[in-house]
Structure 1
């Protein structure tokens, strides 16, 4: 029987680093027996698995969804179909097909029997509806960074902010996986993009990726804290400010981004990467360190400030996801969007991969590559 490997989380860490150093364990993992597949199941040989910000929060139970323990994390993966159950339609899904996983149907962010079977392993079993064919133009590394990253800005811009052609959007944390995807989606929708980040080198790549303007939000010489980048934003918009903010960062950056909005502007909250202590570690939950925004600015500028709970809303109403998936797959198949993946590591080097993501070295996505097996 073929032996693979899996990265197992047996308990929640006090924080991400505790889980990485002391809890995650790389274990032997024999290939599941093909004859024991349920009629609707497929066996995937994983080639690439994303290391996302959400995955890292899950290590300590600080994400709103807590998978059952022990489990294999890795919200998104891509690979090759190695075997199918007896009821799987071979015209839709067959041995040898290149596929990517659907994070709402299988893996740690899903509900049900496959929640503990994520991508940080050599093999995964998924329900047939839990995988999609990988567009021919995408690599395995790109495929495991497609759905979560692009569905997030699609929902934020179309379902929440109702971004219109010709408007200007400010994207914070633009060199992250969601930020890079947001640039592409905003441009496809006909918007102008101002992108922020803390590294000139990364911002050069962000601009090459489609941003119209970039702003470095690192402290300026002889200054402390976040600079008043609202002034730069207003200079770039003839004094108006932007119509929409897509905020992934939280904290002081969020507040300055809010001040960059014009009157009646719309702010969409994606996350608060600057504040990983919103919830307690060790799976204890609670929200004692909530991110905060100034209500006086909202009032005086007549702002619309809204959350963008793409996954939660899709769980509650799956119908809203149908046009979103159709658009993302069509854009990808037409070559109109391509996930950026700057770092890839063998599965055995998971610590290096995770610390690269935590430290901010990654531009776009970061992936783990299990050694491929063929049955």
Structure 2
């Protein structure tokens, strides 16, 4: 089969299209999926580069998010059959491991997975929509709902709002009844974020977001009961790096900062004074739960959540697709189709 194969860490030239990679064969309790769509995530960039403490079983086919049609089933598989439309939960919650990292992922014509990782796709949800959901939208749902507990009337600042996690976070915050401030890098992205529900957009390429928050909503007061407390109630920050301390400066007393990643650096400078002075809460969110995927599919099926797809790339150009994410040239999700 055709597959994008990574045989060593490095830059995008290490992602090689191989035309005769061995076809997967379903063992007991497994199925082989004919891939219809795979969506890329910044995690795939980290996988290609290499991550401290994680050793890959080279060669590996990257691509965490996979949706497709079951082509064949292994022994003892009774609840699934060829032709079933499925999306894969990338996390193997029984044996451990992650699709596209410890086992072959979606950048191929076929993908083999255990049946306990399958989720059925509703009839009115497309393969493209389903493939876009697990990692980015699943992470956003858990972060904003279970961990973040966004409330009606709260003011929520979202950094990285134009990425896969960000566009879902914008929609979920708006659905929760919050006032949403999204950060974007261009006027085009700003327009699309407003269409998704953002009440305000800050172009961080033109204005420092801390200054913009203070000018528009006031500087956070250090004492409770202030007539104009200023700032925001929640900051969503999964970029890290030099945005971390600046995010703390936007939060009003008792505010909370939500993080689920660190695309710009995981060891930022810290300033503990803001945390104790404003009694801030730092809430971390790691991935998603299986029920989150079912909830997302239901939201999409009911038309209550939009899957924003930036572009569909052919399998042969998957390296370019990943580069577009790494260079922050996208809004929403990037799909690769065999």
TM-score, length basis structure 1 = 0.80
Q: Give the Cα separation in 2 of the matches to 1:343 and 1:307.
A: 30
> 1:251 is matched with which residue: 234, 241, 250?
241
What's the counterpart of residue 190 of structure 1? 177
Structure 1 residue 196, shift from structure 2 partner: 0.8
- Match of 2:247, SS state, is helix
Structure 1 residue 44, shift from structure 2 partner: 0.6
Query: Would the aligned equivalents of 2:87 and 2:121 in 1 still touch at CA under 8 Å?
Result: yes
Q: Give the Cα separation in 2 of the matches to 1:63 and 1:339.
A: 32
163 and 66 in structure 1: CA distance in 2 versus 1, 3 angstrom threshold: farther
- Following superposition of structure 1 onto structure 2, how do residues 143-162 of structure 1 map, counting pairs within 5 Å? 143-162=130-149
Q: Give the Cα separation in 2 of the matches to 1:113 and 1:200.
A: 34
Aligned length: 329
What's the counterpart of residue 315 of structure 1? none
Residue 58 of structure 2 corresponds to residue 69 of structure 1: yes
Query: Would the aligned equivalents of 1:272 and 1:291 in 2 still touch at CA under 8 Å?
Result: no
Cα offsets for 1:147-183 (capped at 9, x unmatched)? 2122212221233222222222111110000000111
Residue 9 of structure 2 corresponds to residue 12 of structure 1: yes
Residue 326 of structure 2 corresponds to residue 358 of structure 1: yes
Structure 1 residue 227, shift from structure 2 partner: 6.0
Structure 1 residue 363, shift from structure 2 partner: 0.7
TM-score, length basis structure 2 = 0.88
Q: Give the Cα separation in 2 of the matches to 1:184 and 1:299.
A: 31
Structure 1 residue 190, shift from structure 2 partner: 2.6
233 and 122 in structure 1: CA distance in 2 versus 1, 3 angstrom threshold: farther
Q: Give the Cα separation in 1 of the matches to 2:57 and 2:34.
A: 23
What's the counterpart of residue 137 of structure 1? 124
What's the counterpart of residue 281 of structure 1? none
Structure 1 residue 30, shift from structure 2 partner: 6.0
- Following superposition of structure 1 onto structure 2, how do residues 138-287 of structure 1 map, counting pairs within 5 Å? 138-220=125-207, 228-234=211-217, 240-275=230-265, 278=266
Structure 1 residue 75, shift from structure 2 partner: 0.5
Structure 1 residue 232, shift from structure 2 partner: 4.1
Structure 1 residue 7, shift from structure 2 partner: 1.1
- Match of 1:121, SS state, is coil
- Match of 1:116, SS state, is coil
- Following superposition of structure 1 onto structure 2, how do residues 259-338 of structure 1 map, counting pairs within 5 Å? 259-275=249-265, 278=266, 290-310=267-287, 321-338=289-306
63 and 49 in structure 1: CA distance in 2 versus 1, 3 angstrom threshold: farther
Residue 4 of structure 2 corresponds to residue 27 of structure 1: no
Q: Which moved more, 1:182-191 or 1:194-203?
A: 182-191
Q: Which runs of 4+ in 1 moved over 6 A?
A: none
What's the counterpart of residue 44 of structure 1? 33
